[in-house]
Structure 1
């Protein structure tokens, strides 16, 4: 089965526009199983309820930040191997450089950047 068709991705961003843009970019890559969460807490509830192959989280969110969410995932005995991509603009990348994440994704999202990040981690998308 092609990688893109089988990936289940959770997108976490407090801005509805960014969640929609991420979903659209993923859809153009053939990834249609996309969960959406507006907060880190809502994302955590989804992660406890069903399996995902990848989390793409915004860095700056009220309450649980993307870094906090990544650290919580990486500390969890079952979820620790779940890849976490942190979405941020270049202006905040240095602030997040010590976070326990598997990859950084530029904001605003683009199909080319999303493809590059996913292929670097999962291999060639079909």
Structure 2
């Protein structure tokens, strides 16, 4: 069982309120290390400096979309094994279907949905 305390998660969303909400949900699950990026490009820069266990990215962002970011991560020799969760409402999920996306997280974020996404990929949390 993975401990949420041991996870380093990068949240990428162009909306500050959504980044904050994601951080709050993850904190309530016990995740202590959450980094925030406003763009896909900023996320890639942060990933060059820090190793993350999971990337949670919004689908619709200016510049690199969430799918574009997922593809860049999966094509990179160092980042390729990092799970990428795509955050989107059900209305946009079909356009986000892509083999590079490891899991989907419902937006707006909730603790229950975030737990479900993490457990679907990692197994039961402590």
Q: How many residues align?
A: 126
Runs of 4+ in 1 over 3 A off after TM superposition: none
Measure how far apart 1:28 and its partner are.
Answer: 0.3
TM-score calculated relative to the size of structure 2? 0.97
CA root-mean-square deviation? 1.1
Q: Which runs of 5+ in 2 are unaligned?
A: none
Instruction: Look up the match of 1:47.
Output: 47
Give distance in 2, aligned partners of 1:87 and 1:40.
Answer: 13
Q: Residues 60-79 of structure 1 correspond to what in structure 2 (within 5 A)?
A: 60-79=60-79
Q: Is the 8 A contact 2:2 2:123 kept in 1?
A: no
After superposition, give the CA deviation of every residue in 1:29-57 in whole Å (9 maximum; x if it has no partner).
Answer: 00010000000000000001110000000
Counterpart of 1:31 in 2: which secondary structure? coil
Which blocks of at least 5 consecutive residues in structure 1 are unaligned? Answer: none
What is the CA–CA distance in structure 1 between the aligned matches of 2:79 and 2:59, rounded to whole Å? Answer: 19
